[in-house]
Structure 1
Amino acid sequence: MKLWLPFLQIFGMKQNSVYLFGLKDFLMKRTLLFFSLSLVMLVPSVLMAQTLTATDTTALKKPVAISLLNVSNELEQTQNRLVKISQNVKELDIQPDFDSLIGVHSHFLESEADDVNKVKAQTISNFYLENASRNWTGYQKRIKVAINDIRSQLSILQENIKSLTFEKEVWQLTLQNASEKADVPNELKSQINKMITQISKLKTTFEATQTKLILQENKLTDLLITTNDVLDKIQNLKKQMRANLFISSESVLWKSALKHSDIFPVANHLSNVWNINKKSISIYFVQKNFFLILLILLLETVAFIFLRNRYNKLGYNESNPGFVNANFVFNAKRVPSLLFIQLSTIIIVLQTIPLSISALLTMALLLVAIPLVSRFAGDKGKQQSMIIFFLFVINETEVIFWYFGDLLRYYLLVEAIAGIVMTYYLMAFKFKKRETENAPYAKKVILISSFIIALFSITIVADIFGFVNLATLLTKTTTKIPAILLIIFLLYKLLEIIIVSGCEAGKSFKWNAVKYCSNIELNLIRVLKLAAFYLLIEMALETLEIYKPVADWIAEALVYDIAIGSISISMGRILGMILIIVVSYFTANIFKVLFGNSEQVNKRLSKGFMFAINKTVGYIIITIGFVLGFAYAGIDLGKFGLLAGALGVGIGFGLQNIVNNFISGLILLYERPVEVGDIVTVGTLMGEVKSIGVRASKIKTFDGADVVVPNGNIISNDLINWTLSDKKRRLEIKVGVAYGNNPNDVLKLLQKVAVNNDNVLVDPAPIALFDDFGDSSLNFRLLAWVHFNNSLSTKSQLSIAIYDALAAADIGIPFPQIDLHVKDHFTEQPKVVIPNPPANSPEIVDNEHDKD
């Protein structure tokens, strides 16, 4: 547009004149329409054309000799390409030395695998199996990462080797063509020979690197097989232990005597505990990269401090909803709150962390939770969290006694008895006394406490009769499930407060998303609830030691193929398709929230134009989502050709109105005779346009009714748009005065009334006109321009002001009068003549009978 401005200025036109001509608006509308329709039509074609692979494209290329006139130029370009390809070799050399990695891992994994293969289900502890499972899962992930790195490098090498092979064939043909001609200089032939030699050397280097990487990949694959075998062994041991839960593995406790070797020497047993945990911890910290978790913790800290400062600047107090909770999190307990969130993040993200570190982090998390939980559950909740903390510490100490033989069984008894005592006297007993104070809450606590006491009682019985595995699982479940509930509950409450406070602080920004804060807050809390529920189920299943079997069963169910005719589908693909479509829908809504009706954008673009952009981009995103979803589900869109033909016939007969409304909606979006926010009259309907949809538009009348009008009706019928070009509206007030008044005085009075009203616009200026001589009055008109939103109130104000001004000036307002004149035509009293009845009248006959 700026390119045309100098030429337009030559003819005396300014930039505003260009907008009056509508040239810019016209070009932008047509460009957007063409771009949008092109994307909608091309996206499915591009996605369906992905079946043409790179191999197919390469196969279509055939080496052709270069023209001798372009050899010099092509030599230079080929040399530049070789330099770039050579850089790939240097980048591959920078990659980690997989040989040393393989050497270290091979020796280490072999020794670790031997240790695992020697253990038996009868002599191993749950702690050892869980720790080994986490360690070997970490090994598996690192090996898979190394294999993926090698495969990505092999892919790069393969593409470079193909490219070098093609280049070599091209230059060989060029050299053959040059050798057949005698007038080609030898120097040129020599340059071509050097290029072929250089290409050959680089290709040989690439092939050697490729061979090396293939060998490394094979070795890593062997290590991965070993790792998978060990994990299968661990899972089988866990399965055996679960199968032996209800099988007595030891004699009854009164027949079991403690051996001297079970306790002494104590130092040796403790040394074994330390060495095993030290080994797993050292291996984890040596091989783990903590950059990601440190980055997440840093971002959490920065976000927390930023949000705290923004919220404190709002100046809220106790009268504002949510202030007490926000002040508690951001000011009173800001350090424990941030520490609790960060400790929770570490535990959730680092899933393969050794159990000993995980236990220490969880203890720290429960300890930090004690001063925080009082805000949401009072002193009672604080007391409960202390009990949960102590029970958790007692249960984690159980790990030490696994190395003290039968002493473990006595520790299980002590642990269960301590659990019963603490649960009864500190929770159930006290709440039973306070049941009248807070009956519903007390009843819940008593019910949960009774369930915990029952589990501890079963633990005692199981331990006494030799069901050690069952007793261990019950104590673990009884102590860790309450801890998990407490952590997830407190984490949910803290994040909920942060979300609500963040939305409150976000309202201070002049962003378009501010008006959606309520919906954003509601949706984020819903997502938070789902995440908390998922986390609770996952941790509970892990505590019960059945997470892996359940996850494997769900995975098998999702990938199970169901054949329907020639189509094979699975639940996983269907859920994936639904997820992709839902994500595309939310992405379109996020785009609308971020960019729709933005004040900064609307300084240059109209509201209707931005609405058209949002609608178009939304349609494109959702279309891409549907195409990707069907592609993920394995549905061939090419097989819908017959359906499209049938749909075309259906459109021709039964769906013409729907298609008409759809096309009309596109016309409304891009031609923009109506924009969102306009005041329109369609037939007898008048109101504000709230939205323009695919099939229909929504108009809100001034009576408050939402009317859905098909787009076809808006396009085909007469449409009055009161605010298309501007928001001004002209008012017309008619008034008549009695004959005998000076019309000039009346005109000045009307003009003065209009000028003195603040709602009347200065430009265009109001004007008073003498209309005509009426039957009983001199008729005048007052014309005034006002903003459309103020038209009704301004008209009322002007009418009252005119009446008051006329009355003050003693100018009467006539009204039609009718004089009724009644004339009397009778001077005498009129005589009433009653005719005689006929002779055969029933009355005459009756009278004669009466006389007789």
Structure 2
Amino acid sequence: MKPFHCFSVLLTAFLVLGIVFGSAAFQTASDILTKGDSLLNLTEDSVSNVGKDTVKQERSLNSIIHTLEQYIIATNHINKVLGRVVDTTEVSMELPKVEERIEQVRIRLERKDRDINLRYLNALSNFSNYQDRLLQRWKEHFDTKSADVLNAYDSLKQIKKDNLLSVSIDDPSVLPSFQDQLRELKGRVNTGDSLFVARQLNLASYQTRLSSALIALRDFEEEIRDRERALERQLFDQEINFIWEGGSYPNTKDIMRVINHSLIINSIIFNGYLEASRPVIIWIMILIIAFFLWFRYLLRHIKSEKEFSDIILQRTKFVPKNPFLSAMIIVLPLATFFFRSPPVVLIMVVLWLLVLVTTVLIRPHVKKKVYVYWWLFLGIFVVYSISNLYIETAFEERWALLLLSLLGIGLAYNIIGAVRKSDITHPRYVVLLIQLFLLIQGLSVISNILGRYSLAKILGVAGTTSLMQAVGLYVFVLVIMEAIYLQIELSKKSSTEYTAYFDFQDITSKVRNIFVFLASAIWLYYLTANLTIYDYLYENTAAFLSAERTIGESKFTFGSVFTFVVIIWISGIISKYISYFAEAKDQKMAANRKQRLGSSILLIKLGVFTIGFLLAIAAAGIPLDNVAIVLGALSVGIGFGLQTIINNLVSGIILAFERPVQIGDVIEVGGRSGVVKEVGIRASKILGYDGSELIMPNGDLLSQQLVNWTLSNKRRRVELFIGVAYGSDSEKVEGVLRSVLDRDGILKVPGPSVFLQNFADSAVEYRLLFWVADIDTWVDMRNEVMKDIYKRFGDEGIEIPFPQRDLYIKSMPGAQPEKKKVDPKPADEASEGDEGGDKDPADGDSGEK
């Protein structure tokens, strides 16, 4: 066989084998692809859902695998959400207690044989409001968790709708990884179903209990409101007989049983409220400790750093002796405001603590007789405050309350007499507070006599507690002032300075009003609350302020107007105090003009006013287009008559930026000189050296010639003219003058100078020029120099001349001419005598002075 023929046979054989094996491989691949496409074949159970299937049959194998991976990742997150344990520790522990408290109070409230008073209903209303907020918070927490579970399960249901879960593969050897993932997905879906059921059952149990408690509490609150309205309408009705009439009280009760019953209910309310308010109590304790540590810091550093520490501490009464009680009395008046709707029992406990701390603090500082009066008032207060916590009306204590009111009136009358006779200066509102106490207690006595027992009790409680609280708030203000004083003293850099007391007096007059206003607001709030008229006043005031009113096409409310005015007023107060303390700082920095704020305070004030104005507009809800109308009207007013005011305003801004004048500068303008005390928005205040205060418009400061002695420094040149008699030794005079000028207080650079200035009519004048470092001392230095010159001239025999004049009298009106004597000598002898040069005495001697 030829070689070429052999090669052809072999090639043909290889081709045949290749075709055979290729066909087999192709068939195998085709079978695999066919089986792969059969993944889309549905089981019999799912055939009926083909129309609802979200997986389209024509999607590819890669798309199915990618969807399967996404579903596995999604179910992992879903199961974590469904399996997340809800924290029910607080609810599990507190909810049974809340349910028990509500049930106990409800049972006692439903007892028709007990005459529950208005004070107790107010306490129950506050208690129910707090429990309502607590239950609502828990319910919102569980509703949020339930919503998360439902959202997760909705996502799981969307996965379950996909027919991918219904795919079946007959041959387990085909795509084993895919089948494993599919089984894992089905397992996770089943797990999610189980977790959802368990979690829903857990959440639903708590949600049901919380909903039931809220429903019961809302019914409870509605009944309380109905009873409150009924008792408020009956407040002025006669409940018992007139005091001069006989007869027994209706529903006679045992006082001890009422006290025990009230103790149980108040304990339930008090303990439940404290347990739920632990964070607030912790914050109050932190505040007390913080103030105590601050006071200890002040006292320790003053004692160790100040040379006159004894004098400083003697000017304070409370903080050095009782720093912890002083810290308590700062926090206690504000403590109840940290709580939300505190019950009456909590308010009374805080007031007891305030009165107790006040009793200890005032003991060393009041006379024995006054302290005895205080203890008597304290006894009245304790009885009234305990009676205030009764949950039932007990007419049996009518005579006891009447006697307490009469005793309080007598004590108050004696205190007013003692105050008016005392030489000690008392605050002006002391007598006013006692007179108010007399008025309230007098109304209480009249109400008691006329059978209005509930009204008499409310008035008696309000009068007594308000008086005791007023004294505590007065000490509260004093302690704050002492703390400010000690802080000012400690801030003094020199350890030998204790003159800050005088600064403290000035600061007290500025700052005290703020704390007095705060104390007055606290006192007024509790007075209205004790009179049970706070809610009435609040609701009616809020309704009046929120009612919409119309002027033309503009709508407004008095609340928005009030908000606008209050914010502007607060801005003015802030601006005032910022400028005051900045000026005080500038006075301490008087030696360095660059470190002073000076006229920049005006920019701060303008900034505060601008921010306040914008906040007032935003808070009041005034539309900006209305503001534009007002500004347009203002521009018209400027064109007609406000040019001067705007000129002064713009001049003030220019003064603030250019700073030609600073607070504390010594200036001369318009023929007046003085120290700049304030650079205001419209005008500046200049304190004259004679004590007068000149209010000069800012425009005049820029338009007139202004001399600023302290613009770049505080140095001043002093000029003196000294005259000496003619004939004095000039070298000696100059030596004496130069030696006098060589002294402390006179600058060496530029050095002093002595010049012979002028030959005057009666003296030789010398001109002295020297510089002092501080313009505030130039008058004293000139005084010392002139006194020393006078003394040294006397010692050196240098005469200081004074003007002299020679006086010649030619004639005197009304004087009789002197008669000439007849000379008996002959005429010729007389003429000879005249020739001797004798003159008439009346002619005078021209050479005699």
TM-score range with shorter-chain normalisation? 0.5 to 0.7
**Equivalent of 1:284, from 273, 298, 301?**
273
Q: Using a 3 Å threshold, how does the CA distance of structure 1 residues 714 and 744 change in structure 2: closer, same or farther? A: same
Give the secondary structure class of the aligned counterpart of 1:507: helix
Query: Residues of 1 paired with 2:517 and 2:365: CA distance?
Result: 20
Q: How does 1:710-725 map to 2 (within 5 A)?
A: 710-725=697-712
Number of the residue aligned with 1:187: none
8 Å CA contact 2:130, 2:340 repeated in 1? no
Q: Could you tell me which amino acid in structure 2 is paired with residue 627 of structure 1?
A: L
8 Å CA contact 2:477, 2:519 repeated in 1? no
Deviation at 1:627, TM superposition (A): 1.6
- 1:475 and 2:467 aligned: no
Number of the residue aligned with 2:131: 139
TM-superposition CA deviations, 1:321-373 (whole Å, max 9, x none): 9958x44x346677766666665554565474444555555556555655656
- 1:293 and 2:284 aligned: yes
Q: Using a 3 Å threshold, how does the CA distance of structure 1 residues 630 and 809 change in structure 2: closer, same or farther? A: same
- 1:503 and 2:485 aligned: yes
Q: Using a 3 Å threshold, how does the CA distance of structure 1 residues 393 and 650 change in structure 2: closer, same or farther? A: closer
8 Å CA contact 1:661, 1:710 repeated in 2? yes
Q: How does 1:424-463 map to 2 (within 5 A)?
A: 455=444, 459=448, 462=451
Query: Residues of 2 paired with 1:722 and 1:152: CA distance?
Result: 72
Q: How does 1:456-605 map to 2 (within 5 A)?
A: 459=448, 462=451, 470-479=452-461, 481-500=463-482, 502-503=484-485, 506-510=488-492, 517-596=504-583, 598=585
TM-superposition CA deviations, 1:687-729 (whole Å, max 9, x none): 3333333333333343443333333333333333333222233
Deviation at 1:284, TM superposition (A): 1.7
Query: Residues of 2 paired with 1:698 and 1:152: CA distance?
Result: 63
Q: How does 1:304-453 map to 2 (within 5 A)?
A: 304-306=295-297, 323=314, 326-327=316-317, 329-330=318-319, 344=333, 346=335, 349-350=338-339, 352-356=341-345, 358-359=347-348, 362-363=351-352, 366=355, 378-395=367-384, 408-409=394-395, 411-413=396-398, 415-416=400-401, 419=404
**Equivalent of 1:730, from 699, 714, 717?**
717
- 1:234 and 2:221 aligned: no
Number of the residue aligned with 2:46: none
8 Å CA contact 1:676, 1:689 repeated in 2? yes
Q: Could you tell me which amino acid in structure 1 is paired with residue 289 of structure 2?
A: L
Give the secondary structure class of the aligned counterpart of 2:771: strand
Number of the residue aligned with 2:604: 617
8 Å CA contact 2:405, 2:445 repeated in 1? yes
Deviation at 1:568, TM superposition (A): 2.2
8 Å CA contact 2:585, 2:596 repeated in 1? no
**Equivalent of 1:764, from 732, 737, 750?**
750
Give the secondary structure class of the aligned counterpart of 2:491: coil
Q: Could you tell me which amino acid in structure 1 is paired with residue 626 of structure 2?
A: K
Deviation at 1:576, TM superposition (A): 1.6
Query: Residues of 2 paired with 1:219 and 1:631: CA distance?
Result: 44
**Higher mean C-alpha deviation, range 762-771 or range 143-152:** 143-152
Query: Residues of 1 paired with 2:412 and 2:772: CA distance?
Result: 73
TM-superposition CA deviations, 1:164-211 (whole Å, max 9, x none): xxxxxxxxxxxxxxxxxxxxxxxxxxxxxxxxxxxxxxxxxxxxxxxx
Number of the residue aligned with 1:129: 121
Give the secondary structure class of the aligned counterpart of 2:598: helix
Q: Using a 3 Å threshold, how does the CA distance of structure 1 residues 300 and 429 change in structure 2: closer, same or farther? A: closer
Number of the residue aligned with 1:243: 233
8 Å CA contact 2:745, 2:772 repeated in 1? yes
Q: Using a 3 Å threshold, how does the CA distance of structure 1 residues 609 and 255 change in structure 2: closer, same or farther? A: closer
Give the secondary structure class of the aligned counterpart of 1:680: strand
Q: Could you tell me which amino acid in structure 2 is paired with residue 762 of structure 1?
A: K
Number of the residue aligned with 1:23: none
8 Å CA contact 1:336, 1:368 repeated in 2? yes
Q: Could you tell me which amino acid in structure 1 is paired with residue 121 of structure 2?
A: L
8 Å CA contact 1:661, 1:696 repeated in 2? yes
Query: Residues of 1 paired with 2:266 and 2:808: CA distance?
Result: 121
- 1:754 and 2:741 aligned: yes
TM-superposition CA deviations, 1:616-663 (whole Å, max 9, x none): 122111111012112222222333434434544543454333333333
Q: Could you tell me which amino acid in structure 2 is paired with residue 639 of structure 1?
A: N
Normalising by structure 2, report the TM-score: 0.62
Deviation at 1:135, TM superposition (A): 0.9
Q: How does 1:30-45 map to 2 (within 5 A)?
A: none
Please provide the CA RMSD for this pair.
5.8
Q: How does 1:174-185 map to 2 (within 5 A)?
A: none
Q: Could you tell me which amino acid in structure 2 is paired with residue 132 of structure 1?
A: L
| Larger Rg over CA atoms | 2
Query: Residues of 2 paired with 1:700 and 1:368: CA distance?
Result: 46
Q: Using a 3 Å threshold, how does the CA distance of structure 1 residues 717 and 125 change in structure 2: closer, same or farther? A: closer
Aligned residues: 656
Deviation at 1:414, TM superposition (A): 5.9
Query: Residues of 2 paired with 1:107 and 1:374: CA distance?
Result: 46
Query: Residues of 2 paired with 1:664 and 1:428: CA distance?
Result: 58
Identity %: 22
8 Å CA contact 2:302, 2:309 repeated in 1? no
Q: Using a 3 Å threshold, how does the CA distance of structure 1 residues 142 and 820 change in structure 2: closer, same or farther? A: same
Query: Residues of 2 paired with 1:627 and 1:570: CA distance?
Result: 18
Q: Using a 3 Å threshold, how does the CA distance of structure 1 residues 780 and 646 change in structure 2: closer, same or farther? A: same
Q: Using a 3 Å threshold, how does the CA distance of structure 1 residues 95 and 383 change in structure 2: closer, same or farther? A: farther
**Higher mean C-alpha deviation, range 617-626 or range 383-392:** 383-392
Q: Could you tell me which amino acid in structure 2 is paired with residue 301 of structure 1?
A: F
Q: Using a 3 Å threshold, how does the CA distance of structure 1 residues 569 and 144 change in structure 2: closer, same or farther? A: farther
Q: Could you tell me which amino acid in structure 2 is paired with residue 235 of structure 1?
A: R
TM-superposition CA deviations, 1:194-245 (whole Å, max 9, x none): xxxxxxxxxxxxxxxxxx99xx999999988986664453233112012234
TM-superposition CA deviations, 1:392-440 (whole Å, max 9, x none): 554566589867x9xx44x32563476479669x959999999999999
Query: Residues of 1 paired with 2:416 and 2:682: CA distance?
Result: 63
Normalising by structure 1, report the TM-score: 0.61
8 Å CA contact 2:721, 2:767 repeated in 1? yes
**Higher mean C-alpha deviation, range 336-345 or range 562-571:** 336-345
Give the secondary structure class of the aligned counterpart of 1:610: coil
Query: Residues of 2 paired with 1:450 and 1:718: CA distance?
Result: 63
Q: Using a 3 Å threshold, how does the CA distance of structure 1 residues 818 and 304 change in structure 2: closer, same or farther? A: closer
